[in-house]
Chains A and B, each alone.
Chain A
């Protein structure tokens, strides 16, 4: 099936469905923020050292563990 077959309502729905990846990204970044909070509180020495690279640290944990 292709886009030409769809009516107005259905096109509108597709438009809305396209926002799904954004919602997923938000969940991931909120999760990263939570991890940051945990680091700051529980492992302050590590936090001091890596605060500049927190983004990549989070990415690493996601893939490694």
Chain B
């Protein structure tokens, strides 16, 4: 919830003092305690998506967790709930739902789990793998399970399009850790296509499909903004500390980039 940067602006400091004056020391301390208590209740993020789309990698990259969320092995038949201590304090609860779309029979078993877990989530992140064109089962899952179970779908759902680094023509610039211009063009087209398909199937307007790459740490802030927003009144508890993309660029380039991008 709290950024690594701690800028101190003199103007803010002044009005902060004024505000403290407005509340009075007692009320101020009460508020502080209220916030601390509230932080003890970790925000709950449910991650949904087919096997292998990168759900664990996404959560780890999104919150800078250094692999604290482990990759579920293929064929898990239960949901996996983990409460993670965040590097800068506070906790996060992640529910990794068993992979969907693997097999007709397995999916039947999973529906019960979904009915139990999803209504309790503060935000649901639905992860799609970018380089697969097939969407009909994603549509089906979103419509039949998430919408029926969650009810207010639009509010608490974020659709993440992962692994865009693997999209054709596959010319990811590893030196700078960024897509080539032709790849970016492809990515844009794909995103619009998915938005159209999904809103068509769901009969609602899909606010945003955030494209990113968890493994390359590309566009994590954009995804994070969407997740915070969708978490509504508990979004502020989520840390703003995604994994650093520049860290993955070539060593000789890193220094240069850090200076250029301020």
- Are chains A and B native binding partners rather than an unrelated pairing? yes
* Interface, chain A (partner B; CB < 8 A): 1-2, 9-10, 12-14, 16-18, 20-21, 23-24, 26-28, 30-35, 37-38, 41-43, 46, 49-50, 53, 55-57, 59-65
Beyond A23-B219, A63-B8, 5 additional contacts (C-beta under 8 Å) are A2-B256, A26-B222, A26-B225, A59-B9, A63-B6
- CB-nearest residue of chain A to B6: A63
Give the size of the chain B interface in residues (CB under 8 angstroms).
54
Contacting pair B231 A34 (CB below 8 A): yes
* Set of chain B residues within 8 Å of A42, measured between Cβ atoms: 34, 38, 233
Closest residue to B257 on the A side, CB-wise? Answer: A17
Binding site for A on B (CB under 8 A): 1-3, 6-9, 12-13, 15-16, 18-19, 22-23, 27, 31-32, 34-36, 38-39, 89, 173, 175-176, 178, 180-181, 184, 219, 221-222, 224-225, 228-229, 231-236, 238, 240, 245, 252-253, 256-257, 260-262
Q: Which residues of B contact A53 (CB under 8 A)?
A: 15-16, 18-19, 22
Q: Count chain A CB atoms within 10 A of each CB in B39, B229, B245 and give the residue with the most.
A: B229
Interface class of chain A by DSSP: helix
Name the residue on A nearest B219 (C-beta): A23
Say yes or no: A37 contacts B178, CB within 8 Å.
Answer: no
* Residue contact B23 to A49, C-beta cutoff 8 Å: yes
Centre residue among B7, B173, B233 by max chain A CB count within 10 A: B233
Q: How far is the CA of A42 from the CA of B38 in the complex (A)?
A: 10
Contact of A26 with B18 at beta-carbon distance under 8 Å, contacts A37-B232, A62-B2 already known: no
Q: Are the C-beta atoms of B236 and A32 separated by less than 8 Å? A: yes
B181 neighbours in A (Cβ, 8 Å): 9, 12
25 A–B contact pairs at CB < 8 A? A1-B256, A9-B173, A9-B180, A13-B176, A18-B260, A20-B245, A21-B262, A23-B219, A23-B225, A27-B221, A27-B228, A28-B3, A31-B1, A31-B228, A31-B235, A38-B38, A42-B38, A46-B31, A56-B12, A56-B19, A57-B16, A62-B3, A64-B32, A65-B32, A65-B39
In the A-B complex, list the 3 residue pairs whose CB atoms are closest, starting with the nearest. A34-B235, A23-B221, A35-B236
CB atoms of B16 and A56 under 8 A apart? yes
* CB-based nearest A residue for B175: A10
- How far apart are the CA atoms of A1 and B251 in the complex, in Å? 11
Question: B19 — nearest CB in chain A belongs to which residue?
Answer: A53
Q: Which residues of the partner chain B approach A30 to less than 8 Å between Cβ atoms? A: 225, 228-229, 235
